[in-house]
Amino acid sequence: MSLTTLTKPWEAMSYGFLDGSAKRELRRKTLKSVAVPGCQMPYASREVPMARGWGTGGLQVSLTLVNPKTRVKVIDQGADDSVNAASIRRFIARVAGTPTTMDTLEADLIQSRHRIPEEILREDQILVLQVPNPEPLRPVQPNMSIARQMHADADYGRMWLQLYEQIVRSGRVMQGASYPSLVHGRHVMTPSPIPRWDVPKLNMSKHLTILSAGREKRIFAVPPYTRVEPLVFSDVPYKVEEHGHLTCYRSGTKGFFMNEIPQDDGTSTFEVSDSEWGVKAIRKGAGEPVTTGETWYKNGEMPE
């Protein structure tokens, strides 16, 4: 063994920014997290040139997965053009030379902050969700060692109690985003702060979902064809946001998750949250040839 066999040629920067050992660790942990759906696996979470809590977890997974042929789409709350999405997309393209897209159908890898696109993802697509707080038990058990023991014992009684108290106090479940969900009948996970509207999209989906929390250093995954059931009581059914009847004021599209825009006179108008879906609807209206994929929600309802 000599020094030349141990060293590698000099590079200005590793491909995809992360060095080899960071990538290998993430690969090992990603595989383990796929093997135990919904179970949070600790990982080292390396430094990336972005503040923790701004998508560093998702970014590290994306940087590990990409190669120069991977077409990357990045979403921030449904929008492709907000600051967080635009800067992450530009960063990935700059350090990995990947083509980028805004079209859900064209993307190979979709990194998302808090939304799942409205068009159904295919088998060959991977969804990477950024997770600010990966621990669903944190509101009921702040001690993370005890929370880990509770996950090990599948001891989720306090989660049910929390939901019960909300129903007693407010008449309905108040959890808006990151609705706790049981994965593969064993681990309760937070689906990241996606709205309730998006949680059913994870259930028995065709695509692989990887959820990564950079600040909290945990990674977990939902493989394809895996049960993801929101925690509900049998007599209080799961409810998604009542957006099925709303119409987007810009694109005219109807039956999708909307952003509410308050008006001066106290009323609200609504704009479709998945910005690319809105763009497609506008283009279609203008008579341009547009390919739209099948959507999860049809006429504002999720088919059983």
Partner 1 sequence: MLAVPQPSPAESRENQTFEALLWALSRPGLVRAMPGLGDADLLAALVDRECLVHAADPLLIPAVLKTGAKVAELTDADHVFAGTLGDLAVLDQLQMGSDLYPDDGATLVVHADLKTGPMLRLTGPGVDGTLDVHIGGLPDGFWQRRAQIMRYPAGFELFLLDDDQVMGIPRSTQVEVL
Residues engaged in binding partner 1 (CB under 8 A): 5, 8-9, 11-16, 20-21, 23-25, 27-37, 39, 41-42, 64-68, 93-97, 148-149, 152-153, 184, 186-187, 208, 221, 223-227
Q: Positive or negative, the Cα torsion across 74, 76, 79, 80?
A: negative
Q: What's the min distance (Å) between Cβ of 75 and partner 1?
A: 21
Which of 264, 294 has the CB closer to partner 1?
294
Q: Are the C-beta atoms of residues 284 and 290 closer than 8 Å to each other?
A: yes
Distance (Å, whole) CA 284 – CA 303: 25
Q: What's the min distance (Å) between Cβ of 149 and partner 1?
A: 7
Closest to 191 (Cα-Cα) out of 136, 257, 239: 136
Q: What's the min distance (Å) between Cβ of 101 and partner 1?
A: 17
Q: What's the min distance (Å) between Cβ of 109 and partner 1?
A: 11
Please report, to the nearest 10 degrees, the dihedral formed by the alpha carbons of residues 76, 82, 85, 89 taken in order: 150
Q: Tell me the sheet residues that pair with 100.
A: 72
Which of 21, 299 has the CB closer to partner 1?
21
Distance (Å, whole) CA 89 – CA 70: 12
Which of 14, 247 has the CB closer to partner 1?
14
Look up residue 277 and give its two tokens: 């879906």
Q: What's the min distance (Å) between Cβ of 236 and partner 1?
A: 27
Which of 135, 276 has the CB closer to partner 1?
135
> What do you get for the CA distance between the two ends of the chain, in Å?
61
Which of 180, 244 has the CB closer to partner 1?
180
Which of 178, 226 has the CB closer to partner 1?
226
Residue with tokens 């859900």: 104
- For residue 213, the SS3 value is strand
Distance (Å, whole) CA 100 – CA 257: 24
Q: What's the min distance (Å) between Cβ of 143 and partner 1?
A: 14
Q: What angle do CA 269, 258, 169 make, to 5 degrees?
A: 95
Which of 223, 255 has the CB closer to partner 1?
223
Residue 206: CB atoms within 10 Å: 12
Q: What's the min distance (Å) between Cβ of 171 and partner 1?
A: 35
Q: Are the C-beta atoms of residues 215 and 270 closer than 8 Å to each other?
A: no
